[in-house]
Amino acid sequence: MLNKFFRPVSPVLFGGMIIFLLFARCEKEPGTIGLTIQPDADRPLLAYFDTMTVEAYTLSVDSVRSDENLYSLVGEMVDPVFGAVEASFMTQIVLSGLYFYPGVNPELDSAVIYLKVNERYGMGETEYQLNIRELIQPIDIDSTYYSNMDPTPYLSGYLVGTTTFSSTDTVIQCTLNPLIGNKLIEDSLALSSQSNFREHFYGFHISAEKLSGNGALVAFDLLSEESRVDVYYSNASADSLNNSFLINSSSARINIYRKDLSQADPLLRIQHIGTGFKDSVCYVQGLAGVETYLHFPFQENWTDRIPGAVNKVTLTLPVENHDPTATVLEPASRLIALYRAEDNRLLYLPDKGLGEEYFGGYYDKQRKEYVFNITDFYKDFLLGNRDHIDMYIRANEYTTTPHRVVLTSGNNSRPVTLKVYYTGF
């Protein structure tokens, strides 16, 4: 079987390839230079086929690992198709140095938390109340946490900070309760090392309650220098002192998401999740929302249908043209393709390792589609290195992006398509 896909190259064809390389900058159509000097009998046949059956289904993503993500989100919104989504997070703060000595008899002036906004996504400008609670149990950077965890056992029963903000703000600041400020400067032993400080102050839970507007989600860049807690104080020998407590890569950070499909518009919401029903559309949403599962029911027969060597394989996922919400909530800027390994882990297709641009998955606004190059993944299947090429399609950075899209399925007039390009002789 392998000889069918990897035949020796004829001397004539090899000469044509050399000529092609020498004149690659010419203006002729790619792939034709050098072929015109070959006899018709030796000229390779460049062709493709795209008639394989593809089945697409929508599956629920119950949770995703959500600790130490790049961004941390707050907010709430109701998507007419995907339903309600709510986000909050927990984070530690750490000393800005090896230790902090506030001096003799430190006296607090104020303590302020700053949060740098990275992105906002939703149904337009929304006004929120930011709510901050102190953690009463520790969180650990070496532990694993998932997005569906219940934060309640970790939270104090009262707010230690609150302010209003808009989803269009770039930096949010909130004055903290003096109890927190004093806790950050009064215990010199707790401030003598990072480990002592972690045992002394566990961190914050931060959420946002919608006051007005249609809802949005706000992503904070906690690793930015602009995200921190500043304490302003004086001591027995000086006034107008200040110290920063940081949120950095040494800080445990956990995103928490809540979803409720029942709040979606009854006429627009997802109708089939995990039922095996062959709908005409399928769905993708980040933040532990939903994913599209692609199944190729007759893939074991494909090896007998390819009359030559495989050159390129692409997967095209069209966007559903009749989604009325797409003008407000634009389709995800990029999707990713994963496969399930023998140990049940979801892994990127090997083609991703050849470069992001090569792998693809970016949204083409003009064509209204996503295209992946999955050549290596497909060839591994032909060589018997994997049993199937079934895939899972998710939003890029799905652990922190709320972006979503409605796709066509295999049961559609504009279906998802696998296209195999090959050379025959």
CB 150 within 8 A of CB 95: no
Confidence of residue 385 (pLDDT cuts 50, 70, 90): confident
pTM: 0.84
Q: What pLDDT does 383 receive?
A: 83
Of 20-29, 109-118, 192-201, minimum mean pLDDT range? 20-29
If pLDDT is split at 50, 70 and 90, which confidence band does 49 have? low
Considering the domain architecture, whether residues 87 and 218 belong to the same structural domain is answered as yes
pLDDT at position 51: 67
The predicted-structure confidence for 269-317, as pLDDT tens digits, reads as follows 999 999 999 899 999 999 999 999 999 887 776 666 665 688 899 999 9
Give the pLDDT of residue 8. Answer: 42
Cα(262)–Cα(265) distance, integer angstroms: 8
Q: Residue 387 has what pLDDT?
A: 85
Counting residues of the chain whose pLDDT is more than 90, the rounded percentage is 73
Percent of the chain with pLDDT over 70: 85
The pLDDT value given to residue 327: 87
Mean pLDDT for 29-57 is 56
Is 95 found in the same domain as 183?
A: yes
34 found inside a domain: yes
Residues 203 and 335 in one domain: no
Q: Residue 410's domain spans which residues?
A: 44-61+289-424
Question: Does residue 211 sit within a domain?
Answer: yes
Spatial neighbors of 274 by CB under 8 A, at least 6 apart, are 57, 58, 59, 60
Reported as a single tens digit per residue, the pLDDT across 323-354 is 888 888 989 999 999 999 988 899 999 999 99
On whether the CB atoms of residues 205 and 93 are closer than 8 A, the answer is no
Residues 118 and 1 in one domain: no
Q: Domain total for the chain? A: 3
* Neighbour tally for 48: CB within 10 Å: 13
* Domain contains 268: no
| 222 and 352 co-located in one domain | no
Q: In this predicted structure, which of 16-20, 200-204, 404-408 has the lowest mean pLDDT?
A: 16-20
The answer on 382 and 320 residing in a single domain is yes
Please, are residues 270 and 244 in contact by the beta-carbon 8 Å criterion? no
Q: Are 202 and 316 in a shared domain? A: no
Residue 271 lies in a domain: no
Q: What is the pLDDT of residues 104-153, one digit of tens each?
A: 999 999 999 999 999 999 988 999 999 999 999 999 999 999 999 999 99
Closest CA to 172 of 123, 208, 203, 125: 208
pLDDT higher than 60, residue 45: no
